[in-house]
Structure 1
Amino acid sequence: MSDPVSALGGGSFDGFASIREVGPLGMITLRAKPEVKGLAAAVKAAVGTGLPAVRRIEVQGTKAAAWMSPDEYLLILPLAEVGKALALLDKGLKGNHYLAVDVSDARAVFRIEGAKADQVLAKLCPVDLAAMAPGEVRRTRAAQVAVAFWREGAGYSLVSFRSVAGYVMGLLTHSAQPGSELDAG
């Protein structure tokens, strides 16, 4: 078995905000209606968080569960724990209608950090970042591609498809160029 690699080899950029690709990360797409019996307990067993409310993310250490749509959640965890988490979901949801799939290799994750990190996303996404509450997840577009992001600590985490990781990194680094701040004068 080969060692997992990130889409861009951990690329980074320092502008008025810092951009970096996060290394290989485990991700599971879980499709299930919120009323499925045992869903909250299965998510708790798999990643240690509660079931997220609409447009929310629940974070517990290095693991998280994010609401993605009325019947879709994104579970985030260390890559080495994906198999165990899938088994726990299967055990907890046995007999119910659901789908749990390892999408770790299909996604790229980026961190945008710094005092003006929000300006990087404001240039690219049709989202009112000032109105975004802590723990809120937004699914939207960054220029021409689908992304999801949330505020985390002193910045944002952003998820895109791996196939467009180079394009997303280019968007983020171009948006973070020194001198292009929205409040530059």
Structure 2
Amino acid sequence: MTVDAVEEPFRTQLTVRLRQGDTLLGVPLPGPCTFTSGNGIDILWMGPDEYLVLGLELSRESSDLEAELSRESSVLAVVDVSAQRNVYRLTGVHAADVLAHGCAIDLEVAPVGTCVQTLLARTGIVLMVREDGFTVLVRQSFSDYFRAWLADASLEYVS
């Protein structure tokens, strides 16, 4: 198979607003349109003082991670948005080709570590470019539509 799409299990997702700072939980903060990873979390840049912290699968409970972030001196607010989005991982030789069917981002030139909010087939997503493929965060209410669109866009690449 040249395209593989897997829904990742429930992942903690916390929106964090910062006053200032260079790190969260020992992980360097990403610059615009990027993400950083370490210590069991991904940190996604969402705006000038806003970040989305994703707990890696089963690494930390939502309340524990929220409490840890709240103790950081630079943090203004932490909001648990875990139920807001579903997380999908796309891998395989043609993963970028499938996404290109509905996404205006040129994934051929997007370096690993890129993180953007964009539209995919008229659905708002957060797209992360990883070493081994892509992570797509889709609002839960659009997940059924996204899965159906993904199945249709993948047909020509499935052997």
Give TM class, smaller chain: 0.7 to 0.9
- Mark the runs of 5 or more structure 1 residues left unpaired by the alignment: 1-14, 181-185
The one of 53, 60, 65 aligned to 1:85: 65
Q: Which moved more, 1:146-155 or 1:20-29?
A: 146-155
Aligned length: 156
State the Cα deviation string for residues 42-70 of structure 1 (Å, max 9, x = none).
Answer: x1x2xx42111111110126421010122
CA RMSD of aligned residues (A): 2.0
What does 1:85-104 correspond to in 2, within 5 Å?
85-93=65-73, 98-104=76-82
Structure possessing the higher radius of gyration over alpha carbons: 1
Alignment equivalent of 1:175, drawn from 141, 144, 153:
153
Q: Tell me if structure 1 keeps the 8 A contact 2:27–2:39.
A: no
Q: Which structure features the higher share of helix residues? A: 1
Instruction: Indicate the structure with greater strand content.
Output: 2
Query: Unaligned 5+ residue runs, structure 2?
Result: none
Structure 1: which 4+ aligned runs deviate by more than 3 Å? Answer: none
Name whichever of 98-107 and 118-127 sits farther off: 98-107
Report the Cα distance in structure 1 between the residues aligned to 2:39 and 2:78, rounded to whole angstroms: 22
Aligned residue for 2:22? 40
* Cα distance, 1:107–1:77 mapped onto 2, change above 3 Å: same
User: Would the aligned equivalents of 1:55 and 1:67 in 2 still touch at CA under 8 Å?
Assistant: yes
Matching residue within 9, 17, 33 for 2:3? 17
2:103 corresponds in structure 1 to: 125
**Of 140, 148, 158, which aligns to 2:136?**
158
